[in-house]
Structure formats: C-alpha cells, structure tokens
Amino acid sequence: MLTTDLVSIAKIVKPQGNKGEVAADFLTDFPQRFKDLKKVLLDKDGQNSLPFTIDSFRFLKQRIIIKFSEVNDISAAERLRDCEIKISKNEIVTLPSNSYYQFDLLDCVVKDLKGCSLGTVTDILEVAGKFLLNLQRGQKEILIPFTKEIVLEVNLSKKELICNIPKGLDEL
C-alpha cells in the first residue's frame, strides 16, 4: 500500500506503564473510530508502515492509551515513540456535504473569479480556531482564510478552489 493511500489518525507520544501500552495524541476529529479498528499501520518518519493489531484501548484525558498485540513491555513501547498510527483512506469517516479533510485540500490550485491561478495549497494552518490555506506562488507564500465568503467553490475532482480574494490580501 502506498503511503499516499494512508491517513494518520494518532501519533504515539510515549509508553504508558510497563506492560507495553502507549499514549497517543489524536490526529482525528473522530476518536470513537478506534472502537471499530483492529488493524492499523505504524509509520515513523515516512519509513515502511508496519501492521499492528489493537488489543485494547481507553481514553485518558485528551489522549488515547493503546495496547498492541505485538508490544508487551516498556522497551518495545518506547521504540514506537513518534510513530504515527495510520489507516487506509477507504476506512475514513464519510463527511457531511461541504466538509473536507485537510489532506484533500493539499495540492489544490486556488483560482480567482476570473480563473487566474493564485497558487497551490501547501499547508493548512489553524490559528485561533480558524483555518488558513497556505498557498505557494512562485517564491511567495500567501495565507487565505478558509471561509465560505472567500472559498466559494471546492472541486476536489479537479483539485481546484475558486476564491473571492479581498483586494490586497494576496499582497500581504
């Protein structure tokens, strides 16, 4: 399976206890998805993803504590630090209409109302609970708020966003 076919849903931050459990931060808005998962892939620094089986999990504060079948002590759990827990894109939760996964917006070409390219989405930043599209336009970066007033149309099949950019925003 290609790494582009995978989606990260959590990142292991540390061992939890001495029996092989790990604590992970969520990279998903759907933490309940873990109740339906048995097999996941672990990936560290973009290396080959390795399959792991979830024996059990529980939520603790803002994290998830996971016990994998293949991990039975703190030393083995320590080796998983900084691994991302990934699933196949075909296992993602279906979103309501006019909602998008951030990874779907990456590499989209942003065009103005006249069809002129303003740049390509290279990153999505969250600032004060709002999302900003980081566009690359040659050597220049532009930040555009991801709001319905500015982003008028999202066409994922064409990897294209049609935007009504306020005058001067692209010059900041």
Domain boundaries, the chain: 3-91, 102-171
Whole-number Å distance between alpha carbons of 155 and 172: 26
pLDDT at 172: 52
Please answer whether residues 36 and 97 qualify as being in contact, where contact means their C-beta atoms are separated by less than 8 angstroms.
no
Whole-number Å distance between alpha carbons of 27 and 6: 13
pLDDT at 129: 81
Q: Which residues contact 96 (CB under 8 A, 6 or more apart)?
A: none
1 alpha carbon, distance to own chain's centre: 18
pLDDT at 16: 96
Whole-number Å distance between alpha carbons of 85 and 39: 10
Phi-psi region of 115 (alpha: psi -120 to 50; beta: other; left: phi over 0): left
Q: Shortest CA distance to 123 belongs to which of 107, 109, 138?
A: 107
pLDDT string in tens for the chain (172-residue length): 455 688 999 999 999 999 999 999 999 888 998 998 999 999 988 777 899 999 999 999 999 999 999 999 999 999 999 999 999 988 888 888 888 888 899 999 999 999 999 999 999 998 888 899 999 988 889 899 999 999 999 999 999 999 998 877 666 5
* Reported CATH class of domain 102-171: mainly beta
Of 3.30.70.660, 3.40.190.10, 2.40.30.60, 3.40.50.620, which CATH number belongs to 3-91? Answer: 2.40.30.60
pLDDT at 77: 97
pLDDT at 96: 85
Phi, psi of 50 (to 5 degrees): -110, 140
pLDDT at 48: 78
159 alpha carbon, distance to own chain's centre: 17
